[in-house]
Chains A and B, each alone.
Chain A
């Protein structure tokens, strides 16, 4: 572990600085000079689109040659209320997001604990663990299409060889498509989570475990009493990030199933994309996108609140 991995706690109070010295003023000016060249592109490239995106949600903009930005008030949102397909996709999106996030965490925690218990094959596992995360999503999707293939795919061949039904069209069957896509999501996201958790595990002082062992705690008791509590901040931050990324992930599902069969894997970002670029309803799609943002933020708030019961999260002031 390099020093870069040390969690940075709130810095100790700085020594009282003499106020309004020329030195302080130069410091400010230097800081502004440093930040200016980067602030303008950041504002233009990322803050502006966010703001305009929100504004678009209240217009009836369509994707035609010369769009006119007509103010539409909350019409889009009213219309959205009656759009059952959108709410269906939101439900599917939540199953996808929660499923992938929870399974990712469970699988990654298992692997991180294994690696932390000093087994051999560490190097191999670490390389293998980062590869899924590094690969282009399109390639991942192509790869898993081959694995799941109904004619001659290795998964069906394996199931057949142990006497189970082997003609399943995993990505094309109404009942198996969503679970199959979730497994791919876990495959992609697990490695990065494993690496993060492993770094956290390695920061737990071994004395704690030894003390617990001396007190006669078994492996499970040591996990619940020592490992889990020390890992909680890391778990909640990585889970929050994974939740956001999974909810917003597009490419994997788009290439794997394009939302099919029969809309069974139509995650909301896919739905919004089709609304904007196939139905050409930019304003309406922006309203949907805004609803997605609100849903994610609300769910995150609920999750983080449950994590920090009693102890208030650090507030930068």
Chain B
């Protein structure tokens, strides 16, 4: 690299950082501005005075806290379900060759091609028949469905990264397959399971479409739905509380992804980059 190139490169990088980072900074800034400052047409990234009331107001409005709790319940339950279902399946998918593997990989890919809007139609009809359409139980089942392919994909990548030799060594010592799984594979897989679980949790926490279709009663709303209720008609938006609510909704996902950056990209990559 010649030195003359460097300044230009840094300029490009700064522009990228601005594009990626500025909207988020603006949102955070709006969440601590007074309504007077938001309504005046002055544009400052740094608020003239820090105004924390927006957060209090957001939390007290329209059951935001209640819907955050709903989101938490659904995200936890669907994560546990998805992990329980996908750990054994991912093991088989990664370890066994042949028809089963092809079927599994094909299904994962095919499930991505179908738009959720087509998948939700039969799910909705079935859930309504069961009386679960407007319920957190129904939403949990649907979220589990939605998360499964991703969880399987990530986990089988983590399984594939565990050398088979270890298992064979265990088998040589006369241990049964299930003993080998318990004592060798699962301990090694644990970090991958944690990463997958967090990814699943965030996927459910963020999910909007299924919640929009299924949930009718305000007491069942999840956080994203309640947030859209904040957006009133044009001009009636309470920008400060809306921004504060949005920041609160984004905190878990940002925290998880900052913690798990390396792990996560590893897992997704293992599935994504197939030579």
Do A293 and B26 touch across chains, with their CB atoms under 8 A apart? no
Do B121 and A30 touch across chains, with their CB atoms under 8 A apart? no
Do B89 and A2 touch across chains, with their CB atoms under 8 A apart? no
Task: From known contacts A154-B26, A250-B117, infer whether A136 and B209 are also in contact, taking CB-CB under 8 Å.
Answer: no
Do B275 and A233 touch across chains, with their CB atoms under 8 A apart? yes
A142 sits at the interface (CB 8 A): yes
A62 vs B177: C-alpha distance when bound (angstroms): 51
Complex interface residues of chain B between 252 and 275 (CB less than 8 A to chain A): 253-254, 256-258, 261-262, 265-270, 272-275
Interface of A: prevailing SS = helix
Task: From known contacts A4-B161, A117-B9, infer whether A128 and B20 are also in contact, taking CB-CB under 8 Å.
Answer: yes
Residues of B within 8 A of A (CB): 1, 5-6, 9-10, 12-13, 16-17, 19-24, 26-27, 30, 38-43, 45, 81, 85-89, 91-92, 96-97, 100-102, 105, 107, 110-123, 125-126, 141, 144-145, 148-149, 157-158, 160-161, 177-178, 192, 202, 205-206, 208-209, 212-213, 223-224, 227-228, 231, 239, 242-243, 246-247, 249-250, 253-254, 256-258, 261-262, 265-270, 272-275
Do A195 and B122 touch across chains, with their CB atoms under 8 A apart? no
| A and B contact pairs by CB, cutoff 8 A, 28 listed | A7-B273, A8-B160, A34-B91, A38-B85, A38-B87, A45-B144, A50-B110, A53-B118, A67-B125, A110-B16, A121-B17, A130-B257, A130-B261, A137-B224, A138-B206, A139-B224, A142-B231, A143-B23, A146-B26, A154-B26, A233-B273, A248-B116, A250-B116, A269-B115, A276-B120, A285-B121, A286-B118, A292-B115
Task: From known contacts A67-B125, A269-B115, infer whether A136 and B205 are also in contact, taking CB-CB under 8 Å.
Answer: yes
B228 CB, min distance to chain A CBs, angstroms = 6
Do B231 and A250 touch across chains, with their CB atoms under 8 A apart? no
Which residues on the B side are within 8 Å of A250 (C-beta)? 115-117, 208-209
A52 vs B265: C-alpha distance when bound (angstroms): 34
A245 vs B265: C-alpha distance when bound (angstroms): 18
Stretch at the interface among A77-85, A173-181, A234-242: A234-242
Closest to A248 in B: B115
Residues of A within 8 A of B (CB): 1-9, 11, 14, 26-27, 30-31, 34-35, 37-39, 41-42, 45-50, 52-53, 56, 61, 67, 107, 110-111, 114, 117-119, 121, 124-139, 142-147, 151-154, 157, 187, 190-192, 195-196, 199-200, 219, 233-234, 237-238, 241, 244-245, 247-248, 250-251, 254-255, 269, 272-273, 276-277, 282, 285-286, 289-290, 292-293, 296-297, 300, 314, 316
Do B246 and A139 touch across chains, with their CB atoms under 8 A apart? yes
Do B13 and A282 touch across chains, with their CB atoms under 8 A apart? no
Do A31 and B100 touch across chains, with their CB atoms under 8 A apart? yes
Task: From known contacts A38-B89, A196-B272, infer whether A289 and B118 are also in contact, taking CB-CB under 8 Å.
Answer: yes
Do A251 and B111 touch across chains, with their CB atoms under 8 A apart? no
